[in-house]
Amino acid sequence: MGAKRDTSTKVDVYGFPDPAQNKDLNGDPIFHRSHILGDKMGGDWVSENLFTGFGRQNTSGMRRCETKMEKQLAAGKWVQYTGKLNYSHTEGIPDSITMSAYTEDGVLFENVVVQNVTDWQTTC
């Protein structure tokens, strides 16, 4: 269940910085190649499914919602998911992503906005 993980730099993601410039003071990456549909749920490592997202946006905000979907799939339930990138401008990286997921049991989460920022977020 899920797409093959490929963290290579070969995937072109709009706005993604040069690897030498993508390090914080501790040497950790600032930005991730974030999935609109997570790879653990079948989202491919292709430009059309990836966006430049701050690491914390990906690991603290989106990850909580993705974990809920993964649990449903592991239980053999279907999940209908939408992810919409939000921009306050015409170019560049998105300001946020709005996520919704539904299962055979009803709403899993709906219109959750995960901000594309460096702060930790609690969602879902």
Pairing of strands 79-86, 31-35: unpaired
Evaluate if residue 8 carries a pLDDT over 70: no
Residue 6 lies inside a defined structural domain of this protein: no
Looking at the chain, the whole-number percentage of residues with pLDDT higher than 90 is 67
Q: Is residue 102 part of a domain?
A: yes
Q: What CATH number is given to the structural domain containing 93?
A: 3.40.570.10
Q: What distances in angstroms separate CA 43 from CA 5, 19, 61, 117, one per listed residue? A: 10, 23, 17, 22
- For residue 110, what pLDDT is reported? 97
pLDDT in the model for residue 60: 87
How many domains does the chain fold into?
Answer: 1
In a domain, 13, yes or no: no
Residue 9 is assigned to a structural domain of this protein = no
Q: How confident is the model at residue 1 (pLDDT cuts 50, 70, 90)?
A: very low
Residue 103 lies in a domain: yes
Q: Is residue 83 part of a domain?
A: yes
> 8 in a domain, yes or no?
no
Show Cβ contacts of residue 70 under 8 Å, excluding neighbours closer than 6 positions: 40, 41
Its domain, for residue 31, covers 19-115
Q: What is the pLDDT of residues 64-120, one digit of tens each?
A: 999 999 999 999 999 999 999 999 986 789 999 999 999 999 999 999 999 999 999
**Distance between CA atoms of 113 and 123, rounded to whole angstroms?**
8
Please give the structure tokens belonging to residue 87. 């921009």
User: Looking at the domain assignment, is residue 5 inside a domain?
Assistant: no
Query: Which residues touch 91 (CB under 8 Å, ≥6 apart)?
Result: none
pTM of the complete model: 0.87
